[in-house]
Amino acid sequence: MTSDNMLTSEEKNVTTVTAGGINRIELDTRIHLCLISEETNSIIEETLHEVCENLKVESNEFNHLTLTEELGVADLIILDIKNVKWGCNKIKELRAEPEHFLKPILAVYEQAPDNFTELADVNLIWPVLQSEFCIKVKDLVKVAANVQDLIAVPNSIGETGFRKLLMVRHLYTRESEILAPIRNHQSSVGYTFPAAQILFKVKPGEEVAFLEELEEAQLLTSKLIDKVNICPFCEHTQINFRELCPHCRSLNISEETTIHHFRCAYIGRESEFRRGINLTCPKCSRELRHIGVDYDKPSEVMWCNDCNQNFSEPLLSCYCLACAKTFPPENALIKRINEYKLSQDGIRAAEEGALPGSGLINILKKEVGFYKREVFMEMLRIEVFRCRRYKYKSTLSRFNLASAGDNATSRKFKNDFAAVINQTFRSTDLFTDSSSGEMLVIFTHTDSVNARIAFSRLKTSIDKIAIAKIDLKYDLVDLASQDDSLDGIWEKLN
């Protein structure tokens, strides 16, 4: 797995991580600008050269701006777009690649498109004042520098975790950026987040599940933008609300005036009485001349053209255009559509290059509750003393749940997994997470044999409900052992 935030080039900053935090050793830091044009000659190339030279003169901060034709080493991408379709496809192509996803993109159009793409950081219409062009380039150079400052991501994070971290880092490198939903009739929820949808390689609307997982992990904060009705079967928003006959459930209904003939007491639809411009009773064939004398019109009611029954209120039903299922309106689910911002935990994850846990871990956190690490450490110290003083067994375990697929995006799996967690663990078991994304749990008054039984039962239950394979790995340490100090216990786990 590679990405542009892996610091492997000698021209990028060398970053070392120590116990006291992150120390940067400043070397010959360069920002490479890559100009891409559909045609050989670019009308903005000369201006771009002038802007770079002006920025170098303006401040030492921009002394190392360099133009390159190699996309792989580019830190900032500038597109000269003559054909709008080509430009949009090129931007999508760039954002779809993890190695280019974080790189700032400046799109320069020769003709204004109907809609600017949200995938570019800045959109400009040429010609533009050199001063304005210079300001936009300067802003994006700062974004590129932010991307260069990011530390490497460990391969153990997994493909999905890596893409989630890229989404977090995308917001982090563009300070105070908001991830806003865009209306899209092709989306399963009526809205889409273009950058997230391209990054996670899913259909429009399906990326919302990944953003919700990041919110559950407290990496993002949300603000409600809209609520949409979705199908309870396929969770799609393409619902047709239909009025039906309550007697035969036919769609063939219409609203029509009712006529009451006083002489023969016949009640029927106006269309039954109508004979050209005159009204004639279909029962007794007498002509109706004067309203209030021969007849009256008590109301306008609904009539079924199939079963000929009348009714005051039709039956309202929902028909899903995506899965063809029918259901009553009260069964429709309400989907929250949010805009997202980076939280403090998200900032920390972006800086450290690590996520607090997968979707499975987030469900686990929600169900059992996690203690802060320093609180957990104090509880562990006390539990070790209690075990050795009062001669009973407790077990410390480090474990990890790794999913080979997107189990946690299924609503049913989330509910089933939460039920399994509650059946397996007790309220007296104590949890926290480690910096590597693994979990630590203290099984109080439980020896290692019974702790293994608990994990075996957990694995069996998960296998029954999982959509894709889930690996469970764990280590156990006996807290009652007199041979280990607290430091020795950590050595065994690590």
- Residue 156: pLDDT band (50, 70, 90) is low
- Residue 411: pLDDT band (50, 70, 90) is low
Q: Residue 360 phi/psi, 5° resolution?
A: -65, -40
Q: Give the Å distances, CA to CA, from 283 to 155, 271, 292.
A: 85, 13, 19
Question: What is the DSSP code (8-state) at residue 306?
Answer: T
Q: What's the rounded mean pLDDT across residues 335-349?
A: 93
Q: Taking a C-beta distance cutoff of 8 angstroms, is the pair 194, 299 a contact?
A: no
Output the six-digit token pair for 224.
Answer: 């409600």
> Does residue 2 carry a pLDDT above 70?
no
Q: Is the peptide bond before 127 cis (omega within 30 degrees of 0)?
A: yes
Least confident of 20-24, 359-363, 408-412: 20-24
What is the C-alpha separation between 103 and 173, in angstroms, rounded?
9
Least confident of 10-14, 180-184, 381-385: 10-14
Output the six-digit token pair for 106.
Answer: 């400046």
Q: Taking a C-beta distance cutoff of 8 angstroms, is the pair 167, 214 a contact?
A: yes
Tell me which amino acid residue 340 is.
Answer: Y
What pLDDT is recorded for position 245?
95
Taken in order 341, 347, 348, 353, is the CA torsion positive or negative? positive
Q: Residue 491 phi/psi, 5° resolution?
A: -65, -40
Output the six-digit token pair for 42.
Answer: 């670019």
What is the C-alpha separation between 31 and 28, in angstroms, rounded?
10
Share of the chain above pLDDT 90, in %: 50
User: Strand 65-68 to strand 31-37: parallel, antiparallel, or no bridges (unpaired)?
Assistant: parallel
- Residue 222: pLDDT band (50, 70, 90) is very high
Which residue do the tokens 């159009």 mark?
Answer: 109
Question: Each residue of 26-56: pLDDT tens digit?
Answer: 334 689 999 999 887 788 888 888 888 888 8
What is the C-alpha separation between 426 and 414, in angstroms, rounded?
19
Burial of 100 (0-12, 13-18, 19+ CB in 10 A): middle
Which residue do the tokens 């950590």 mark?
Answer: 490
Output the six-digit token pair for 314.
Answer: 């039709």
Burial of 5 (0-12, 13-18, 19+ CB in 10 A): buried
E strand or H helix at 319, and its extent?
strand 315-320
> Does residue 89 carry a pLDDT above 90?
yes
pTM for the model? 0.67
- Residue 227: pLDDT band (50, 70, 90) is very high
> Does residue 247 carry a pLDDT above 70?
yes
> Does residue 100 carry a pLDDT above 80?
yes
